[in-house]
């Protein structure tokens, strides 16, 4: 009896204190969603709500009281930034050692404010302080209302008298309440990037992480989809799409607690990365970017695309250049004569630009293979006696622009640069060198190395102002992490992984300050590096060296959840066994380019390719700027089907690709379309037909959007028509 009384009394007191003391309610809202923070009696800031936005902001408080009751037990609190060494028994967002060696941290609410930056963008800042030590943390939540995207980061300020050390310093800490959580994450390697894995999160921690340093995405990217209650589909279910904007080591922890609720902590990987902050110094973490939808993955990905085009990717709402790249046509084996012939081929094909790939530089150790020359950025006099300037002019004469490949962060041990500056190279002084593609990484924490890397680009542009495109490659990971620079500057060597990335951004800032518009492709031996911080400086990225179109359908499908089409470079090459039309149709669903020997195309293939480039130009506005809808998932069907719809829903391009060659495989039935205006009438026309083939679609094919989205239309993709592109145009 007395026990029951005590329990009820405790509950009563607890409810009373809840309503009196849980004062600060901080709603962070987009048009459709809300994240609500609230302080408790100990001034801790917790997450009390995450989900669809409520109509009455005042009602957020009522949800909070419910959830608070259970969270107070067992050192589990739904913290908005979980500290370490005090009351929390969970995975921390932040762990530090104070100047006096103490390892505890408590963060109490100080103040918050929300500033509207314009009609769409707001920034909420929440300041937290340790009551016992002079350490301040500010949490930032930048909301993009229409796109339903939140960008979250934090700053940690050392106001102590001595140096503190950051051991873990996450960007974001979220807390979700749900019945179940299903995580889709990705893994892969060279030429097989972006393989999805869906798993139900069970008790314990699952972490996505990278320790590769430079090519951080090579085995696992920092992108994921998190479904609430049950796995989300394209159109249904609650799902969060998240990613970290950081071109280096990352760690994203998903910790399922004893209540089956989920704590997400995303940020720089703390692995071997203790970061000292001297008195007065501040550390800004990278951005964690996410969107949430309760209408499935399709809507969530369109949210992210709209945000990325408008706010993040360089020139994200602009246009792109189609190009012919020589990598697979020549590899390292070319000279001026061969190249000028290729310029003419590019013109014949109809593309905008010729891109000269690897192998154009170095003299003492010529770049005739991947084992020498990296670092020596002077034209190879044998291959290019008249230099890059001559090539730029010759390309222009032929009627195409000229772009060039660089890999400025790297060095081959067989190079003049290595001989001159071994202290610029990341390696352990007392250990054997360890190579990745016969090369090593330059130490970008060193300002002199930053100058050198910037100088490579600056020199190219200064000497060749008409240079129209850069492909920036990055083919090695960081082994033997050690910096001579940090050592000689008496700085902690554990800063290297972080300072490398910050050094890279400093260089890219300088490049963009001087050359704001030149399109640049982010490449990393395929898709080893892509994220939303790097894409501030790049117009596009190379998803994989694997351009086999069948593989690409799957890969591009997965990339498409996180990055809009305008940023995916998809090239027609000789990889795969499929006919040219299929290879071309697959490249057309991205930013199309070519890497083939044009002179080897027979007459019909050439005619087809010329027509494809022209067709692509006519549909590129819809593909680059339109909304993407996925109808038939290639992992579950004989074929893939997806479409792009432009802003006013007057035009659409619909792509269909066979992924099975089994007897009888094919569409065989109508595919309901998506994203059209039900009231509008659309004329359907098959495009990009191979010369001499007839379309199955009659000229009279005109239907309402309602019909097409309800009854659907059969694209008749089958073993005889392995890829089909249909253009839909509004008929008034
Ligand atoms: C790796 C890239 O992914 C390729 O496209 C090509 O540029 C080579 N590097 C050149 O070495």
Tens digits of per-residue pLDDT, 43-95?
999 999 999 999 888 888 877 555 544 455 556 689 999 999 999 989 999 99
What is the full DSSP assignment across 212-225?
-SSSTTSS--SEEE
Q: How far is the CA of 422 from the centre of ligand 1 (A)?
A: 25
Q: How far is the CA of 541 from the centre of ligand 1 (A)?
A: 12
Instruction: For residues 391-401, give the mean pLDDT.
Output: 98
Ligand 1 mutation target, pool 357, 474, 546, most atoms within 8 A of CB: 357
Percent of the chain with pLDDT over 70: 95
What are the backbone angles phi and psi of residue 416, rounded to the nearest 5°?
-70, -35
pLDDT surpassing 70 at residue 731: yes
Separation between Cα atoms, residue 20 and residue 41, nearest integer Å? 9
Separation between Cα atoms, residue 328 and residue 281, nearest integer Å? 48
229 is catalytic: no
- Full 3-state SS string of 669-701: CCECCCCCCCCCEEEEEEECCCCCCCCCCCCCC
Q: How far is the CA of 52 from the centre of ligand 1 (A)?
A: 44
User: Which of the following is catalytic: 473, 531, 548, 570?
Assistant: 473
The pTM assigned to this predicted structure is 0.95
Among 447, 437, 432, 512, which residue's Cα sits nearest to residue 480? 432
pLDDT surpassing 80 at residue 11: no
Note the helical H segments in 46-139. Answer: 60-71
Separation between Cα atoms, residue 731 and residue 462, nearest integer Å? 50
Crossing angle between the packed helical segments 603-625 and 336-349, to the nearest 10 degrees = 70
User: Which of the following is catalytic: 253, 376, 531, 545?
Assistant: 545
Contact in structure between 634 and 657 (CB atoms under 8 Å) = yes
CB atoms within 10 A of CB 598: 21
Instruction: For residues 253-269, give the mean pLDDT.
Output: 94
- Ligand 1 within 6 A of 358 CB? yes
- Ligand 1 within 6 A of 160 CB? no
- Ligand 1 within 6 A of 525 CB? yes
Tens digits of per-residue pLDDT, 195-229?
999 999 999 999 999 999 999 999 999 999 999 99
Ligand 1 mutation target, pool 190, 525, 570, most atoms within 8 A of CB: 525
Burial of 209 (0-12, 13-18, 19+ CB in 10 A): middle
- The residue contributing the CA closest to ligand 1 atom 10 is 358
- The residue contributing the CA closest to ligand 1 atom 9 is 525
Containing 402, the helix (H) or strand (E) segment is strand 401-406
DSSP-derived letter for residue 117 is: -
Among 301, 159, 280, which residue's Cα sits nearest to residue 224? 301
Ligand 1 mutation target, pool 189, 355, 436, 475, most atoms within 8 A of CB: 475
- The residue contributing the CA closest to ligand 1 atom 4 is 525
Tens digits of per-residue pLDDT, 438-449?
999 999 999 999
Token pair for 357: 């790939």
- Ligand 1 within 6 A of 526 CB? yes
Q: How far is the CA of 214 from the centre of ligand 1 (A)?
A: 15
118 is catalytic: no
Token pair for 148: 């339903």
pLDDT surpassing 70 at residue 413: yes
- The residue contributing the CA closest to ligand 1 atom 2 is 525
Contact in structure between 422 and 440 (CB atoms under 8 Å) = no
- Ligand 1 within 6 A of 352 CB? no
């Amino acid at each position: 009896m007395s026990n029951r009384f005590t329990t009820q009394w405790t509950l009563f007191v607890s409810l009373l204190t809840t309503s009196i003391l849980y004062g600060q309610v901080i709603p962070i809202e987009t048009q459709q969603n809300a994240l609500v923070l609230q302080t408790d009696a100990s001034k801790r800031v917790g997450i009390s709500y995450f989900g669809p936005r409520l109509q009455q902001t005042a009602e957020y408080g009522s949800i909070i009281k419910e959830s608070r009751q259970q969270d107070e037990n067992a050192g589990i609190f739904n913290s908005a930034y979980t500290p370490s060494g005090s009351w929390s028994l969970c995975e921390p967002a932040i762990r530090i050692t104070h100047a006096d060696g103490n390892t505890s941290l408590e963060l109490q609410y100080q103040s918050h404010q929300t500033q509207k930056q314009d009609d769409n963008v707001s920034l909420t800042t929440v300041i937290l302080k340790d009551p016992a030590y002079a350490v301040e943390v500010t949490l930032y939540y930048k909301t993009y209302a229409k796109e339903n995207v939140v960008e979250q980061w934090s700053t940690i300020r050392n106001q102590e008298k001595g140096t503190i050390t950051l051991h873990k310093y996450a960007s974001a800490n979220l807390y979700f309440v749900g019945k179940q959580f299903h995580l889709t994450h990705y893994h892969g390697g060279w030429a097989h990037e972006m393989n999805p894995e869906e798993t139900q999160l069970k008790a314990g921690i699952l972490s996505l992480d990278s320790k590769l340093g430079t090519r951080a995405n090579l085995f696992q990217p920092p992108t994921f989809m998190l479904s609430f209650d049950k796995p989300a589909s394209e159109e249904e279910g609650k799902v969060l799409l998240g990613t970290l904007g950081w071109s280096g080591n990352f760690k994203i922890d998903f910790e399922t607690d004893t209540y089956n609720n989920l704590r997400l902590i995303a940020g720089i990987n703390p692995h071997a990365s203790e970061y000292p902050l001297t008195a007065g110094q501040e550390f800004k973490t990278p951005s964690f970017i996410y969107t949430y939808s309760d209408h499935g993955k399709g809507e969530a990905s369109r949210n992210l695309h709209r945000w990325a085009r408008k706010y993040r990717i360089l020139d994200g709402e602009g246009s792109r250049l189609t190009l012919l790249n020589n990598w697979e046509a020549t590899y390292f084996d070319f000279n001026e004569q061969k190249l000028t012939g290729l310029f003419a081929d590019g013109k014949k094909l109809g593309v905008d630009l010729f891109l000269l790939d690897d192998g154009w530089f170095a003299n003492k150790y010529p770049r005739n293979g991947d084992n020498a020359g990296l670092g020596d950025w002077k034209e190879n006099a044998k291959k290019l006696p008249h230099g890059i300037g001559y090539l730029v002019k010759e390309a222009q004469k032929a009627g195409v622009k000229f772009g060039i490949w660089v890999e400025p962060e790297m060095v081959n041990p067989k190079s003049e640069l290595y001989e001159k500056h071994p202290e610029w190279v990341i390696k352990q002084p007392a250990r054997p060198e360890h190579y990745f593609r016969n090369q090593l990484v330059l130490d970008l924490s060193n300002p002199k190395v930053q100058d050198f890397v910037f100088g490579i680009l600056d020199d190219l542009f200064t000497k060749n102002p008409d240079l129209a495109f850069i492909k920036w490659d990055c083919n090695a990971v960081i082994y033997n992490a050690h910096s001579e620079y940090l050592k000689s500057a008496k700085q902690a060597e554990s800063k290297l992984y972080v300072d490398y990335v910050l050094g890279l951004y400093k260089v890219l800032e300088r490049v963009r300050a001087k050359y704001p518009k030149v399109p640049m492709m982010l490449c990393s031996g395929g898709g080893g590096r892509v994220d939303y911080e790097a894409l501030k400086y790049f117009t596009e990225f190379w998803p994989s060296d694997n351009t086999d179109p069948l593989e690409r359908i799957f890969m591009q499908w997965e990339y498409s959840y996180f990055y809009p089409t305008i940023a995916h470079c998809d090239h027609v090459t000789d990889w795969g066994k499929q006919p040219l039309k299929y290879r071309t149709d697959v490249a057309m669903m991205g930013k199309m380019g070519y890497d083939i020997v044009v002179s080897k195309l027979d007459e019909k293939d050439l005619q087809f390719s010329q027509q494809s480039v022209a067709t692509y130009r006519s549909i590129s506005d819809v593909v680059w700027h339109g909304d993407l809808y996925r109808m038939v998932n290639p992992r579950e069907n004989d074929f893939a089907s997806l479409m792009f719809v432009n802003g006013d829903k007057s035009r659409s391009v619909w792509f269909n690709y066979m992924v099975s060659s089994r007897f009888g495989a094919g569409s065989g039935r109508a595919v309901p379309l998506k994203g059209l205006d039900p009231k509008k009438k659309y004329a359907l026309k098959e495009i990009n037909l191979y010369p001499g083939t007839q379309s199955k679609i009659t000229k009279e094919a005109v239907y309402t959007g309602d019909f097409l989205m309800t009854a659907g239309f059969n694209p008749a993709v089958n073993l005889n028509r392995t890829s089909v592109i249909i253009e839909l145009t509004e008929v008034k």
